[in-house]
Structure 1
Amino acid sequence: MANDAADRTPVFDWEQARHTVADDVQGIVVGTFVAALGLYLLKASGAVTGGTAGLALLLDQATDWPFWLIFILVNLPFAVLAFWKKGARFTILTAVCIGGVAGLSVLDGVLLPVHDLNPVYGVFAGNLLAGVGLLILFRHGASVGGVNIIALLLQERTGFRAGWTQMTLDVVVIVCALLVLPWYIVLLSAAGAVVMSLVLAMNHREGRYIGR
């Protein structure tokens, strides 16, 4: 009887679970859109977050340069790292996502003007959206550059979760924000960055997701 039950256990078809081109296209479009919306809410709140996105937001607060340009420039050095370690496909998709976030940051400002956004809501909603967007991109073989690439590389080679790596490196950006932003906004930003990192750490790990 036990053997009969074992024989009826379905065999998982890994090939069938692989992403199709259509899966990857919709995933990258949705992930980029959601991540960009999250960053827009953070920008509208006058806050920062971790990683290169947080660095771009911080430089946006400290300079007169447009966010879209800062975001691209901050992530450029990591394009070489991505190509060297992850290959052409990952690099191209990441470049597309970086450009998409930069472009959508401008479009969001035009189509979704925000006035008097509650900073607590903006920071936590922004980090949640950004985290979900990054999670979608990770699962479709892309990122938005920067610390995300380092986090993915470490996870693949050591098994150390990408979210924990991101959280560790986020501390540097948050501390630097004290030079530019009021302390209470920095504390709020730190709490929001933890939320985003937890989204990644709890959902992006080996064996949790079967699509490839």
Structure 2
Amino acid sequence: MTQQPSATKHSGIEDVLGLTTGVVMVSAGLFLLRSGGVVSGGTAGLSLLLSYALPVPFGVLFVAVNLPFFVLAAFGKGWSFTIRSGLSIGAVALLTSVHGQPWALGALQPSPLYAAGMGNVLSGVGLLILFRHKSSLGGFNIVALILQERFGFRAGYVLMVLDTLVVVSSLTVSSPLTVVISAGGAAILNVILALNHRPGRYTGS
């Protein structure tokens, strides 16, 4: 029998650098998605959907939508995870707005196809980094992680089901073609998580 390697605990500086990298990648991905007029899954996708319909900044909606899930996080994942997730959500909300400033990326007009593909790749890899440093972006991420740890359901597949509901809801504000493109992009994100975030695959803690 092959002996499993013992987990190597992340140092404080590794966690800080990892979380920073994760939120930068996710925020850049969400900025691309919003610039292309497409949505994704999770509470980020729900916040994007609401931002198209309401005169409220994405960052404000993103924080508001995630608030109810923090009770679940506190009881299901502990306060360390909850605090890290709260900081990650706040950072993503802020950085998504920063990317759109004239001195940064400014106003972009990517095609919906490119925005959905590249935006979800960036967001998926960023989420993977956050998960591996004991954080998340709240909402569906918390539900998926708890179900994976308690019952063995892969987080990526759980998110895929929940994300489908969000993407289908975007028919209320988007064309059918945009919804199809958004669904393809959300599938890319969840495949990244399903293939790379499995129990026992990563030994860091």
Q: What interval of TM-score do these two structures reach, taking the shorter chain for normalisation?
A: over 0.9
Aligned residues: 203
SS at match of 2:55: coil
TM-score, with normalisation over the residues of structure 2?
Answer: 0.95
CA distance in 1, matches of 2:4, 2:178: 48
Judging by fraction of residues, say which structure has more helix.
1
> CA offsets per residue over residues 186-209 of structure 1, 9 Å max, x none?
000000000000000000001211
Q: 1:48 aligns with which of 15, 19, 39?
A: 39
Candidates 158, 162, 174, aligned match of 2:151: 158
- CA distance in structure 1 between the partners assigned to 2:184 and 2:176 by the alignment: 12
1:77 and 2:78 aligned: no
Could you say which residue in structure 2 is the equivalent of 1:86?
77
Residues 110-153 of structure 1 show CA distances to partners (whole Å, capped at 9, x for unaligned) of: 01113331221111000000000000000000001100000000
CA shift digits 1:157-187 (9 cap, x unpaired): 0111000000011111011101111111000
Q: Cα RMSD between the aligned structures?
A: 1.5
SS across alignment from 1:178: helix
Which residues of 2 match residues 14-25 of structure 1 at below 5 A?
14=6, 17-25=8-16
State which structure, 1 or 2, has the greater radius of gyration over its C-alpha atoms: 1
Equivalence for 2:22 = 31
Residue identity opposite 2:146 in structure 1: L
Residue in structure 2 matched with residue 96 of structure 1 by the alignment: 87
Aligned amino acid, residue 14 of structure 1: S
Q: Is 1:133 the equivalent of 2:126?
A: yes
Runs of 4+ in 1 over 4 A off after TM superposition: none
Task: Kindly indicate whether the alpha-carbon contact (under 8 Å) linking 2:5 and 2:203 is maintained by their aligned counterparts in 1.
Answer: no
Unaligned runs of 5+ in 2: none
Matched, 1:172 2:176: no
Among residues 191, 196, 202, which one is paired with 1:198 in the alignment?
Answer: 191
Q: TM-score by structure 1 length? A: 0.92
Question: Out of 33, 55, 60, which is 2:51 matched to?
Answer: 60
Structure 1 vs Structure 2: percent identity of aligned residues? 48
